[in-house]
Structure 1
Amino acid sequence: MSDQEDSFISHLVELRDRLLRAVVAVVVVFVGLMPWAGDIYDILAHPMMQALPEGTRMIATGVVTPFFVPMKVTLMVAFVIALPFVLYQAWCFIAPGLYAHERRLGLPLVVGSTVLFIAGMAFCYFFVFGTVFKFIAQFAPKSITPAPDIEQYLAFVMSMFLAFGLTFEVPVFVIVLTKMGIVDVPKLKEARPYVIVGAFVVAAVVTPPDVVSQLMLAIPMCLLYELGIFLARFVTKTRTEAVAE
């Protein structure tokens, strides 16, 4: 029992150290970006500003909102920049408990999940926001002047980034389920119709009530599911060879 307690405590200490390093990395990047917090928010707000009538600006209804909202955006950017290091710390913590063939797959999954999540956010920023905001602006009555609140805009952007970031993780989810033996490639192919329906249901729930944004979320989700099926074939082959060994 003493050896087990010592091992458990040592794992807790290592977990604390890894978390502390990850937090310090995010804080260091955040502090370094603070002088440009306003510029970072302006970049985030660019798609909305492009869709608003010329001369229109966004508003801040709270007293401290003009300060806290850019800080929140800067913290989000700092986390994204430090994400590879954060995931590396997580990988260093779990890697010693994995088999050799699991470690060979684990590191590519960590790197791939990071790249895919950032790719989902980039796709949302560069393609979805501009299309959706222009589509919504076309239906605005001529008798009103749109002036979005910056705090509500940040909440909307965060939810969309999270939705598209997780959507682009679909291949990783498929590979992990295949690697764990929960599903195989034939079952994934059989589930294709249900996945397509589920993709459009999820898109209808998490995106604004317009067809454009729903399609721009559902279609990539379906395509990424097909990519996951394609990659799962190689994972299944690797898993079979590992079992044979």
Structure 2
Amino acid sequence: MSVSDKEKDEIEKSSAPLIEHLIELRRRLIWSLGGFFVAFLVCFFFAKKLFNLLVVPFKWATKWAGLDPHKVELIYTAPQEFFFTQVKLAMFGGMVIAFPLIATQIYKFIAPGLYKNERNAFLPFLIASPILFLMGASLVYFFFTPMVMWFFLAMQQSGTDEQVQISLLPKVSEYLSLIMTLIFSFGLVFQLPVVTSLMTRVGMLSSKALAEKRKWAIVIAFVVAAVLTPPDPMSQIGLAIPTILLYEVAIWSARLIERSQERERLAREKQEAEETAADKTPDEPPAPAAS
């Protein structure tokens, strides 16, 4: 396949000595690490407020269980536990806040090596990825975490002559690990349409192949949910069902991409046919000179 002059120009523009690539990589790393460090400091400064914000779903669950949400109690059993919990929370929050900047720096580093149409194709997915992650995190915060904590609160029992009192007193580190695991799991699963759409655009997947593997996808969804979530049925089912729905969204997205590519292919073939026909048209003979 011959390479057009325009594509040759793009290749020449994208080529650069190794030292320039290393300098560019260093610049992008500095921006990424600097953004993460600033976001980490901000999150650590507001760590207690952020933690109290993450406890709100627990309070909702307490209210659903018929208990006083103002008496929600979390404990820590080691002097340094809550400090390192705040550090862990600040790192997680810093990564979430700095992710758009980090993703942008990655894109700016690889963009010079891409054709213009490849850059235009990649950009929408760069925007969609953090949006889908936030959608998954919102589902965890507003719905899934309250449901899970309500499930765990329902296991408590009051003390009587025949049974001992059992109360839920979660540690701050354990609660943070639970909600961070859920946010990460749902945010990761919500990237499924982005990944499959990218693979479809580059020709590695097709909507037909995705539809044919639907049964296997359902099984894999429950396996992934069992690995990523706490070992209780509600958590696993709660992640598996959105995963299956997102798989259907991925099939629909792949079909849209295939239709768009088919239209582009037909338009390109039509243009090439017109150019070929124009090249084969013989030149008109010159008009005879007037006597």
TM value normalised by structure 2: 0.76
Asked if structure 2 preserves the Cα contact closer than 8 Å seen for 1:203 and 1:218, the reply is yes
1:194 aligns with 2:210: no
Of 30-39 and 79-88, the range deviating more from structure 2: 30-39
2: CA distance, partners of 1:242 / 1:29 = 45
Higher RCO (CA < 8 A, seq sep 6+): 1
1:27 aligns with 2:2: no
Among 15, 25, 36, the residue aligned to 2:46: 36
More helix by share: 1
Q: Residues 90-131 of structure 1, C-alpha deviation per residue, up to 9 Å, x if partnerless?
A: 111111111222111111001101111121111111110000
1:89 aligns with 2:105: yes
Asked if structure 2 preserves the Cα contact closer than 8 Å seen for 1:41 and 1:74, the reply is no
Among 121, 124, 138, the residue aligned to 1:122: 138
SS in 1 for 2:239: helix
2: CA distance, partners of 1:235 / 1:150 = 45
Asked if structure 1 preserves the Cα contact closer than 8 Å seen for 2:133 and 2:188, the reply is yes
User: Which amino acid in the other structure matches residue 249 of structure 2?
Assistant: L
SS in 1 for 2:221: helix
Q: How does 1:7-26 map to 2 (within 5 A)?
A: 7-26=17-36
Among 160, 163, 168, the residue aligned to 2:185: 163
SS in 2 for 1:96: helix
Among 237, 241, 264, the residue aligned to 1:215: 237
Asked if structure 1 preserves the Cα contact closer than 8 Å seen for 2:41 and 2:90, the reply is no
Check 1:32–1:159 CA distance in 2 against 1; reply closer, same or farther (3 A cut): closer
Q: CA RMSD in A?
A: 2.1
Among 113, 116, 119, the residue aligned to 2:129: 113
Unpaired runs of 5+ in structure 1? Answer: 1-5
- Residue 77 (structure 1) shift: 1.8
Q: Which residue of 1 aligns with 2:9?
A: none
Asked if structure 1 preserves the Cα contact closer than 8 Å seen for 2:190 and 2:243, the reply is yes
1:138 aligns with 2:154: yes
1:148 aligns with 2:170: yes
1: CA distance, partners of 2:191 / 2:94 = 21
User: Which amino acid in the other structure matches residue 31 of structure 1?
Assistant: L
- Residue 212 (structure 1) shift: 2.4
Among 64, 72, 78, the residue aligned to 2:80: 64
Q: Residues 18-76 of structure 1, C-alpha deviation per residue, up to 9 Å, x if partnerless?
A: 11101111222332343321111111122234445543411112221222212321232
Among 176, 182, 195, the residue aligned to 2:198: 176
Structure ID, larger Rg? 2
2: CA distance, partners of 1:106 / 1:202 = 27
2: CA distance, partners of 1:178 / 1:206 = 26
2: CA distance, partners of 1:239 / 1:15 = 33
2: CA distance, partners of 1:38 / 1:188 = 44
Q: Which residue of 2 aligns with 1:3?
A: none
Of 198-207 and 169-178, the range deviating more from structure 2: 198-207
Asked if structure 2 preserves the Cα contact closer than 8 Å seen for 1:101 and 1:242, the reply is no
